[in-house]
Amino acid sequence: MNARVKWFFLAVLAFAAEAGAQVTHCEVTSSAPQVDYGRLSRATMAVDASGDLVLPARSITLSVRCPEPQDMTVFFRAQPADTKAFRFTGQGRFGLRLRGGVLDGEAVDLGQLERQGDIPIRVASSLPWQPDQGIAPVKAGRVATGRVFIAQVDIDATVKAQAMSVRDATRWTILGEIDAVGARVTRELSLQADVLAGRCQVEVTRHLSFGRIRSTDLDPGGASTPLPSTQNGELQVTCDAPMPFALRLMRDERAGTAVVPTGLGLRYTDASWMGLGQTPAGENIGAYVLHWGARATSDRGELHATRSVDGGRTWSQARDPIVAVPTGTERLGYAGTGDAAAGPSPLTALHITLDAKVYLAPRHLLSLNEAIEADGLVTFEIVY
């Protein structure tokens, strides 16, 4: 009998101790109190429609937990850039969006309101989290109370291109605060990014050149004629500090003069062809395609080409032949084996070989009573 009574009291005491360990006040947590963008480089940053550089997208999980049901309205407090976004350094901005709201284990809509206790002015499953605008879980059109509120927070940030030009290594740190006003609790949330100082220069150390061809050597059957290369081109990039960078073919300076080759069964896309200028009589001379080298030498040894076709958002290993296309969104860099998906490697020196395939227009399209000089010209941009 006594043994049973003793066991009963131990069980009660154990339960009381467990109950005492439970949450006695509200708390706000996030899966990443500090959102770290790492080292930023223009080479791996996309450009939005307004010309600003886009930082990599980030998402965190927000949780508000209380021992008793509470109003779970949350505000984000930070220096506003305008009514829709917050300041990200002096030359940037970031926006927040809440989605995937769950209240006490049940999926809920989200409501946007100006003050705690207001009727939501907007209800949706995903809402922008703007300055002076709260977000709350909503059921049947009304703000709902609960013990545990969880939501995903998407963070989108942009900066002006000139913000990347720094004299010394710079760390950007932006502080903000998640304010669960009904629960009377806050939690700091910070954004951090590192910007490296340094400059890069690109130099054409050797131009592409081609031999002479007689008019009698042009294809007599109406097809285009390939012009043999006598010298590959070479580019040298040097930086005053290790920098990830990419090259972009900006434009064909002889645009509008390309004559797409015929009769040769070539499989290049029309966008790949660039012009060779015109004869004194105003006739288009022909066209060429430019090939990047699949490998390059650098201060880190031999590297392999990595390519982005979406303005630097994603990267993958480039396969030979690598055709340079003046689209403005395509970028090419070089990285070590197995590192292509991460984008270009940080380098201080890079040596690249270029090749071109040149084709003269069909014979019947050209006046052949005087010497003709084929003169292709393109503009490159180095992005870092």
Question: What are the boundaries of each domain within the chain?
Answer: 24-195, 200-383
Task: Report the amino acid identity of residue 104.
Answer: D
Q: What is the DSSP letter of 189?
A: E
Q: Report in angstroms the alpha-carbon separations of 278 from 270, 275, 365.
A: 19, 9, 11
24-195 and 200-383: same fold? yes
Please tell me the class of the 200-383 domain: mainly beta
CB 30 within 8 A of CB 60: yes
Check residue 24 and give its pLDDT: 59
185-195 and 34-40 strand pairing: parallel
Q: What is the DSSP letter of 52?
A: P
> Judging by beta carbons within 10 Å of its beta carbon (0-12, 13-18, 19+), is residue 312 exposed, middle or buried?
buried
Check residue 315 and give its pLDDT: 94
Nearest to 303 by CA among 339, 335, 261, 329: 335
Count Cα atoms within 13 angstroms, Cβ side, for 132. 6
Within its chain, how far is the Cα of 214 from the centroid?
49
74-77 and 170-180 strand pairing: antiparallel
Helices (H), the chain: 2-20
Q: Report in angstroms the alpha-carbon separations of 342 from 34, 305, 320, 352.
A: 22, 12, 19, 20
Q: pTM of the full predicted structure? A: 0.60
Residue ranges in the chain modelled with pLDDT below 70: 1-24, 197
CB 225 within 8 A of CB 358: no
Question: Residues 6 or more apart from 137 whose CB is under 8 A from it?
Answer: 72, 101, 103, 108, 109, 110, 111, 143, 144, 146, 149
Residue 284's φ and ψ, nearest 5 degrees, are -70, 130
First to last CA, the chain: 81
Within its chain, how far is the Cα of 256 from the centroid?
31
CB 223 within 8 A of CB 362: yes
The correct answer on CATH 2.60.40 for the domain covering 24-195 is yes
Nearest to 259 by CA among 281, 227, 283: 283
